Amino acid sequence: MRALVAISLLLVAQALPDEHGFVSPNGDFEAYTIPANEDGSGMKLFVRRANSSDAGALLRQNNRWIDAKWSPDSRFLAIVDHLDGRISDVYVFGVGVADAAPTLLYHTPDLHTFDVRWDVSGWHVLRREIVLDKQVKYKFPGKITHEQIVARIGTKPLKLEPTD
């Protein structure tokens, strides 16, 4: 029996060697990334029910890297899409209805703006708000600004642009 369990665990570990997961605070969902390209570069980010064997829903993909940050109540998943070392955007998806696809409810303004990097610094979930850090690097050497922005998470689905 122990050998069977050990073999099962080994097969799971081999099947998912490059998978990195982010379990929701309530334990119901998991966001996970896998390489986007055969050479191991880039990332694809999926979300699925926790402990599920299905692939789930593909939310974003790019040729660089992606971070995922859950809201404390597990209703929202923020994706920080690092398109380049000098560009990142944030997308917020509503998650929570069983068997329903996650819904894009917010994204940072002026997507893909060079020398503007967004990150998630907090949540006000009772007010449906996300707290963002906007970093802007100016052409003048050494001038970088940080601005904290509190953005309202919408209730109507937004159109999701195609992923890379």
Q: What is the pLDDT along the chain (164 residues), one digit of tens a residue?
A: 444 433 333 333 333 445 678 899 999 999 999 999 999 999 999 999 998 888 999 999 999 999 999 999 999 999 999 988 889 999 999 998 655 689 999 999 999 999 999 999 999 999 999 999 999 998 877 799 999 999 999 999 998 766 55
CA 134 to chain centre: 17
CA atoms within 13 A on the CB side of 76: 27
CATH superfamily label, 17-152? Prolyl oligopeptidase, N-terminal domain (2.130.10.120)
The SS3 assignment for 42 reads coil
Question: 53: closest CA among 91, 12, 88?
Answer: 12
* Residue with the two structure tokens 């982010």: 22
Question: 47: closest CA among 107, 109, 99?
Answer: 99
- Listed by start position, the domains of the chain span 17-152
